[in-house]
Amino acid sequence: QKEVEQDPGPLSVPEGAIVSLNCTYSNSAFQYFMWYRQYSRKGPELLMYTYSSGNKEDGRFTAQVDKSSKYISLFIRDSQPSDSATYLCAMSAPGNTGKLIFGQGTTLQVKP
Amino acid sequence: SAVISQKPSRDICQRGTSLTIQCQVDSQVTMMFWYRQQPGQSLTLIATANQGSEATYESGFVIDKFPISRPNLTFSTLTVSNMSPEDSSIYLCSVDRDRGITEAFFGQGTRLTVV
């Protein structure tokens, strides 16, 4: 069983739709939770960063963490074609080592 | 965010040869990381490179295959040695901003094809 599970998709939605991306994890010691966006032929770009259970909002993006269920989500409101990318969840290994464990990534396509 | 430059951005190499990838950061950082992203797969940590000490390798990765240098706080290299087609992958350099929390930034990666 992988430490972090993420549905690879692909996910295709019309422009303006609300997108929900999800990850589950098995290690309750994970402390920090991140979402990265990766465009084709580019490195991952940090989108959102959360520490505790609850919601964190940044513009059209909302990150949600439920530590009791070991489940994190990223919501994108009013999705745009420019949001088309692969979205990777990542979690920090215990011990402040800087190591990240990534999900497989979900490929999102937003159609005009 | 940190600005991270990786060279080369891509290369096609013959099997049995070696390639050295360079990573330059625009500010001093303690931790630098090297990841591999195989086609259709997620990112897997190869090793952590701290200045002044030997790199720490993750399970499944060894120094003979992936030697790493970290001569100062802004630069690191990863060498992929004795390459085979299975090494075809994207190799990514990453840094942590030394803020006491894990917040990694990535270079744009090196796309390696071994033929």
How confident is the model over B62-93, as pLDDT tens digits? 999 999 999 999 999 999 999 999 999 999 99
Residues of chain A with pLDDT below 70 are: 96
The mean predicted confidence, pLDDT, of chain B is 91
Q: Count the Cβ atoms, other than its own, within 10 Å of residue B27.
A: 12
- Position B105 confidence tier, pLDDT thresholds 50, 70, 90: confident
Given B4, B40, B48, which is nearest A99 (Cβ)? B48
Contact (CB<8Å) A102/B4 = no
d(CA A89, CA A83): 16
pLDDT digits (tens, 9 = 90+) for B21-62: 999 999 898 889 999 999 878 899 999 998 888 899 999 999
Q: Residue B50: what pLDDT?
A: 85
pLDDT digits (tens, 9 = 90+) for B6-24: 999 999 999 999 999 999 9
Contact A11, A106 (CB under 8 A): yes
Judge whether residue B100 has pLDDT over 60: no
Distance from CA of B102 to the nearest CA of A (A): 5
Say yes or no: B109 contacts chain A, CB-CB below 8 A.
yes
Say yes or no: A23 contacts chain B, CB-CB below 8 A.
no
d(CA B112, CA B115): 10
Q: Residue B102: what pLDDT?
A: 59
| Residue among B31, B106, B93, B40 at smallest CA distance from B66 | B93
- Position B99 confidence tier, pLDDT thresholds 50, 70, 90: low
Across chain A, where does the E strand assignment appear?
Answer: 4-6, 11-14, 19-25, 33-38, 45-50, 54-58, 61-66, 71-76, 85-92, 100-102, 106-111
Give strand pairing partners of A96. Answer: none
Q: Residue B96: what pLDDT?
A: 81
Q: Which of B35, B42, B98 to mutate to test the interface with A (most CBs of A within 10 A)?
A: B42
Judge whether residue B115 has pLDDT over 90: yes
